[in-house]
Amino acid sequence: MKAPRIIECVPNFSEGRNDQFIQGIGETVSKIPGVKLLHVDPGKSTNRTVVTFAGDPDAVIEAAFQAIAYAASKIDMRTHHGEHPRMGATDVCPLIPISGISIEETVKYAKKLGERVGSELNIPVYLYEAASSRDYRKNLADIRSGEYEGLEQKMKLPEWKPDYGPSGFNPASGATVIGARDFLIAYNVNLNTRSVKLANEVAFDIRENGRPVKDELTGKLLKNANGEVVRKAGTCKSVKAIGWYIDEYQLAQVSMNLTNMNETALHTAFEECRKAADKYGLIVTGSELVGLVPKRALMEAGQYFLHKQKRSLGVSEEECIDIAIQSLGLNSITSFDPKKRIIEYMLEEKKNQLVDLSLEKFIQETAADSPTPGGGSVSAYLAALGAALGAMVANLTAHKKGYEDQFEFFSATAADAQIKINELLFLVDEDTRAFNQIMEAFRLPKSTPEEKSIRKKAIKKANQYAIDIPMKTMETAASCLPFIKAMTEKGNPNSISDAGVGALCIQAAVSGASLNVQINAAGLEDEVLKKSLFEKSQNLEEKITKEVGEIIAAIKTKLASGN
């Protein structure tokens, strides 16, 4: 199961005092299908509103365009004043990849948005960060230098010709900066002190910019041949940090911006703060995340701490994230609810899913007088149970005395099994959704030739999907057998029967899904395709049946011999 393609957008608008505008900008974003408004943060002193939304990339850039258009219709920069630097009605509009999409792909969306804003709204657009067309335009502060008041003269310079839109000054809307950047994590680490000086010592040690170097004899700052102050780099790349005191908490913190998770992960920043704090007799007592965070940041942290504890990585997503929360001390000051703080969870639509039912409810739902859930969903669930038994044996063996030298192998096996479990649980509900699509297609009107044509195409498309899903179940289930077999051969001997039951679950799942492929393929008009699907499913079923038979025979031989 591929991660959904999600990007986040955080446009900053030069209006933070007009309640009608603030409400309107949120409504403009919210009405775009495929986008979820996550936060609206107005500031009166800055006269600026920051809006956060996320969703499908195409939907997000549509929402961004509509929001920029709305701001252009409501804000006149000739009368705007505020404490924050700005150069346009929509001052800056970054796109941020969250899941299932690379920064390179996100750049393409930034350029698509910039071109449309320039051509349709007649607003000059500058590209920045990863989308920048020139090195000197990467930094937002450099582009914004001179602000709105200096923009007209600045735009007359050849080097400041906009990337999109008119090259002349737009007095009402100013200019907009659009780009793509990595997710910025605002993160504070708590210290057992009220001393800002000590908190800054830790910040100097860990931030990329480090600290100025002084001459040991004179105490004066050292400078290089160009007259620049010599600095000793900190331990964390792409991290900005300062120390400050929070009166509300009665403690000092190291306040950080992590601008590139790939260079410095959340847990790395925490650990480096902990190591630096120890040098000054300090203790890290916890930490806090400001705003939302991608799931990946906490999953990586959870896996890091699990590995540090010499625990298997083959735990559920929920447990892995909980390990991260506890290890980072994210509950030390205020309660941290992952459902409200992780972007992907915020975007999830609440659905009545089969996988959310209790075992009893699932069985009774299957037994009810409705065609769903049927054999396809049950087959996927059986495969998930088989993978879960493989994960269980791997986890048990990873922590068993005498298997220390193979810990990494069993931990990695259990982690792989968790990935398969999630893929198969998705297919439990997707099989039912595929069947429902067929029913919906058959309910389409068929009064006119055009309606009949539309209905026929919809039925064909839905039927093909109803074939693809059980085929995917077969293939995913079959891919679980190698690690289950490995557990019968190398795993804890006391759990060999559990691995055997897992193999039998996989066999039943593959055979069951094969039947679903064939019953849906039976009605195909394309005889060549039909024959191909029958042969593919039957061949895979026969292969798995043979392999499982060999696994069970080997298990029975071991049990009979007592080895």
Cβ atoms 228, 324 nearer than 8 A: no
Kind and range of the H or E element at 246? strand 239-246
* Distance from C-alpha of 272 to C-alpha of 304, rounded to nearest angstrom: 14
The residue from 80, 84, 307, 399 that is catalytic is: 84
Is 431 noted as a catalytic residue in this protein?
Answer: yes
Q: Which of 265, 269, 266 is nearest to 234 (CA)?
A: 269
Q: Which of 530, 548, 518, 516 is nearest to 380 (CA)?
A: 516
* Distance from C-alpha of 38 to C-alpha of 13, rounded to nearest angstrom: 16
DSSP structure class, residue 150 = G
Cβ atoms 291, 186 nearer than 8 A: yes
DSSP structure class, residue 494 = G
The residue assigned the tokens 């959310």 is: 356
Cβ atoms 420, 462 nearer than 8 A: no
Kind and range of the H or E element at 476? helix 449-478
Q: How many CB atoms lie within 10 A of CB 167?
A: 11
Report residue 362 as tokens. Answer: 């699932």
Cβ atoms 332, 297 nearer than 8 A: no
Cβ atoms 121, 173 nearer than 8 A: yes
Is 267 noted as a catalytic residue in this protein?
Answer: no
* Distance from C-alpha of 292 to C-alpha of 344, rounded to nearest angstrom: 10
Question: What are the angstrom distances between the C-alpha of 61 and each of 96, 101, 138, 356?
Answer: 11, 14, 21, 33
Report residue 517 as tokens. Answer: 């492929």
The residue from 163, 429, 431, 498 that is catalytic is: 431
Catalytic residues: 84, 431
